[in-house]
Structures are given as C-alpha cells and as structure tokens.
C-alpha cells in the first residue's frame, strides 16, 4: 500500500549547508509534483511554516503592517509581528525522492479573499493552520476550503500560551470530519512542519486509494 515518506527522507534540512545550484533542480526520480495550499487566518504562522520547510529560497510578498491596519489586523498573541503577506508565499519541499510539494501560502485576511480562488486553483490539498488561542478566527478559512472542495488537514500551530483542549473538543469546535487529520506543529520547526505536511499527503493518498477501490 502507498505510504507517505517520512521527514527524514527530505532532501535538505535546515541544519545542512545551503543547496548548490545543481541541487535545486528536481531529481530525475521526481514523479509526483503536488500543489499544496498553506492557509489559515491572519498571523497563524503560514509564512513561517513555508520558510521552515522550503528547500529553495521562498518567495514572499510581505509588507509592513502600518497604522492603518491597527483597527483591522488583530495582533493579539503575535505582538512581534511587523509584516503581513499581501499576495502569496511560495516554497518547495521534497518528500523522499519522488514527491515534490509546491507550497502556496495565502494571505490571512478576509480583504484578500479575491486572491484566494486564484491561489487555490489546481491545489490537490490544503494545510489549514489554526491558532488555538483564536479558534474562531479559523472558521472563515475552513469554510473557504470546504467550499473549494480541496481535501485538507488541520495543523495546530502551538504558541507558549496556547490553551490545551482535547482532540474531541477541537474536532467539535472546528466541525471536522472524523477522517480529517488534526495534528500539532511548531511552524518554526522544519521537521515538525514537514510532519504536518506528511499527514496531509498521507490523507490525500488514503482518499485516492479509497476512490479507486
């Protein structure tokens, strides 16, 4: 049966020296090129996660938060945050020799909604990041992902002051299907973030296997 590669199969790690130009080219063994969305509400850690896992220098479209956004972009819990994604994040993460994830990070605020459909176009799966200190802020994004029909996994990005809930409480609150993966990650940590992506890829494989049965 198909199974997702583990994070130790990754081609590059954060502690390794920067990849050479030739390493940046996809290996001939790359067979599955998969578009994945990394989404979630404002300030949940989407850009951080793509930075943590990308084996190429990620593309970011960060702009400084200005006084004008004070009233609309709630910095509760992320006081050190000085920038926000205004269009897209892009990175690439290989899992083993054959699976390559192209990661597309969305902006988090509702005002960027018109971009969402374009960024999501063609995605095979979505990793939805949730901050348990502000669960209700995830509902809109979860609704969008559901609406788009893209299969998804939920990753709880933990912060030092994140409250603890049982899995049952979280599933009920987020209204998740029983087979939707719900994992915990630290978006700053490469292996932790890769493990969250692997849970999503395994979910996609399981769904595809069920469909061909």
Ligand X SMILES: Nc1nc2c(ncn2[C@@H]2O[C@H](COP(=O)(O)OP(=O)(O)OP(=O)(O)O)[C@@H](O)[C@H]2O)c(=O)[nH]1
Please list every residue from 101 through 140 that binds Mg ion, using CB under 5 A.
none
Number of shown-chain residues binding Mg ion (CB under 5 A): 3
The C-alpha atoms of residue 177 and residue 147 are separated, in whole angstroms, by 14
Q: Check binding of 47 to Mg ion (CB under 5 A).
A: yes
Comparing CB distances to ligand X, the nearer of 69 and 98 is: 69
Q: Check binding of 103 to ligand X (CB under 6 A).
A: no
- Report what 157 binds from Mg ion, ligand X, none; CB cut-off 5-8 Å by kind: ligand X
Q: Check binding of 35 to ligand X (CB under 6 A).
A: no
Of 4, 7, 53, 84, the one binding ligand X (CB under 6 A) is 84
Contact letters (x/-) for ligand X, 104-133, by CB under 6 A?
---xx-------------------------
Comparing CB distances to Mg ion, the nearer of 85 and 190 is: 85
Q: Using alpha carbons, list the distances in angstroms from residue 153 to 64, 93, 127, 130, 185.
A: 30, 17, 5, 11, 12
Please list every residue from 47 through 66 that binds ligand X, using CB under 6 A.
47-48
Q: Check binding of 187 to ligand X (CB under 6 A).
A: yes
Report, in Å, the least distance between residue 210 CB and ligand X: 31
Question: Which residues form the interface with ligand X (CB under 6 A)?
Answer: 40, 42-48, 78, 80-81, 84-85, 107-108, 157-160, 186-188
Q: Given the rule CB under 5 A, which residues bind Mg ion?
A: 46-47, 85
């Amino acid at each position: 049966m198909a199974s997702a590669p583990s994070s130790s199969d990754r081609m590059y790690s954060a502690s390794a020296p920067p990849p050479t130009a030739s390493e940046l080219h996809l290996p001939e063994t790359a067979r599955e090129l998969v578009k994945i969305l990394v989404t979630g509400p404002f300030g949940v850690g989407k850009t951080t996660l793509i930075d943590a896992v990308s084996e190429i220098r990620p593309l970011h479209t960060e702009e400084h938060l200005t006084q004008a956004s004070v009233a609309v972009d709630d910095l509760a819990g992320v006081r050190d945050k000085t920038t926000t994604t205004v269009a897209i994040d892009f990175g690439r993460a290989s899992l083993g020799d054959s699976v390559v994830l192209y990661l597309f990070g969305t902006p988090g605020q509702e005002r960027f909604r018109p971009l969402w459909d374009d960024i999501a176009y063609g995605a095979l799966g979505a990793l939805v990041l949730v901050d348990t200190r502000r669960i209700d802020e995830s509902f809109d994004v979860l609704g969008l992902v559901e609406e788009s029909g893209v299969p998804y996994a939920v990753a709880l990005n933990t912060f030092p002051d994140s409250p603890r809930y049982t899995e049952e409480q979280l599933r009920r609150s987020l209204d998740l299907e029983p087979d939707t993966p719900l994992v915990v990650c630290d978006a700053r940590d490469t292996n932790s973030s890769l493990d969250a992506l692997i849970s999503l890829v395994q979910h996609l494989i399981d769904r595809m296997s069920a469909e061909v049965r």
